[in-house]
Amino acid sequence: MMASYPCAVFPEEIDPFVESIRQYQVADIGSKGWIEQHEVLQKLCQQAFIEASTKQEEMVKERLILEDKVPLLIHELYSVLVWRTEVLPRLLALKSPDATFVLYSVIYHEANICSLLETILYHRTSCEALGSTALDLIDYCAQAISRLIGLLANGYNDREDDPPPEELLNESTSEEIVRMGRGMDFRIGIKCLGVVSYLVEGLQLLPLSAATRLVRVHDFPCLIAEILHTKPWLRRNREGVFEKYRNASWFPAYGDAVLKVTETEAQTWFCLYRLLFDAELMRDYEINGYRHREIGKCVGLLNEQLLDQLPALIPLKQHLCTLQLTKENVSTASASSSLLLEEWPEIREQLLQAARRIGWQRIVEQQRKIFIDLEDHDVAEMAKRIGAAYNTDLLEKYTEQEEQGRKKSEAGSQSDAKVCGNCGASAAKKCSNCLFVFYCSR
């Protein structure tokens, strides 16, 4: 008997939903058709997550590939990115918006598509379906990861993403939108680490120019090395308790759980492994003094606790130790690139050209009525539609089950250390209900 699972999209709805996806220009963002597509992509993202997490047949992924809609997802990513950088600041300069959730829905749209891509690109067939848009996606991921590094360098994980209540009460609407944007940049950057790891794994299925953009244009080995040092998946909260980032949320980590490798951390390590052990990539990658230092310093992170959890990285540590013994001025790259003809990403430039033909000021005036000067009935209708699309009840069921299983596993590993499951202090009393977690008091 087959198991029955809840669904965000009924099976008969998947085909028409996927077929309805089309390109929207920057000027179209916020229109009725765009909002409808935003709802469709939100539901497809939820359904794809449910299918992947419950090991069902992944119908959303299959239909996206069959209908050749995967490249359209990259176009939608850039459409919102251009809107955020060019239109949103102009809108906020006019006056404070009456309702921030409408603007937030556009910002969230970008993260939503990243989530969908992260889910489907696990399969090599999805990487192949990208075609030439893989170059645009590589550029997008490089920018997103660079923004993530910038956020962390400016202390984002030092409680900036979780400001105290008094600061939230006193912040203006524009400040709230900026804070939301930083939160989305962090979330998107984390997801792009997973996306890049899948692209590197399926590099042979991508255009020839993809290798050039990975190592020559964006220097992903150094970019990944920097991320491994900044550790965006780990932070301390206001109480000083360590927290780990999993499933787009922060969870407390006590005792040995701080050393437990997260999924994103493991993906990032294996991404660096595949980059450095790909002979074709490294043939055109010059190990100069800067790269020698940046990549070589990852040796210190490959400690015993990490290698016990990821023993496949032992060859990487040996390779990095060998790299440290070589002279910094020794180049490992060939004298010239073997690639004579190179493809270039086009989506962002096409979107900018289309928007400039209309004019930024004209776009701002058109969208002012959508995002800034909203009538009360418009706000109520938009809130109802977006609230229906953001149905998180289904997703919470699976993430809660996964988190409960993880906590039991971590509690079992902490039982020898006898660390309090509440405050992290030394503990002697075991919970009489689950028989896993220790507590320091009643």
Q: What is the mean pLDDT of residues 174-181?
A: 86
Give residue 33's pLDDT.
Answer: 92
Q: Which of 318-322, 355-359, 396-400 has the lowest mean pLDDT?
A: 396-400
- 280-311: per-residue pLDDT in tens? 888 888 888 889 889 998 999 999 999 999 99
Specify the higher pLDDT residue, 327 or 139. 139
Burial of 274 (0-12, 13-18, 19+ CB in 10 A): middle
pTM of the model: 0.85
Return left, alpha or beta for 21; rule: phi > 0 is left, psi -120 to 50 is alpha, else beta.
Answer: beta
Instruction: Please count the residues of the chain.
Output: 442
From the list 103, 118, 7, the residue with the least C-alpha distance to 54 is: 7
- Measure CA 76 to chain center: 15
Provide the 8-state DSSP code for 218. S
- 210-227: per-residue pLDDT in tens? 998 999 999 999 999 999
- CA torsion sign for 94, 99, 100, 103 is negative
- Nearest-angstrom CA–CA distance, 214 and 220: 6
Written as six digits, the tokens of 436 are 């896993």
- With H, G, I as helix, E, B as strand and everything else as coil, classify residue 287: coil
Give residue 394's pLDDT.
Answer: 46
Other C-beta atoms within 10 Å of 135: how many? 25
Q: What angle do CA 159, 112, 270 make, to 5 degrees?
A: 75
Give residue 428's pLDDT.
Answer: 59
- 359-412: per-residue pLDDT in tens? 999 999 999 988 888 776 666 666 666 666 565 554 455 445 445 544 544 444
Place of tokens 């004209």: 362
The domain locations on the chain are 11-163+170-330+342-390, 417-441
* pLDDT above 90: residue 72: yes
Give residue 425's pLDDT.
Answer: 58
Which among 17-31, 94-108, 425-439 has the top mean pLDDT?
A: 17-31
Burial of 1 (0-12, 13-18, 19+ CB in 10 A): exposed
Provide the 8-state DSSP code for 238. T
Give residue 341's pLDDT.
Answer: 67
* pLDDT above 50: residue 170: yes
Q: What angle do CA 394, 59, 117 make, to 5 degrees?
A: 75
**Single-letter amino acid, residue 254:** Y
Count of H helices and E strands in the chain? 21, 5
* pLDDT above 90: residue 104: no
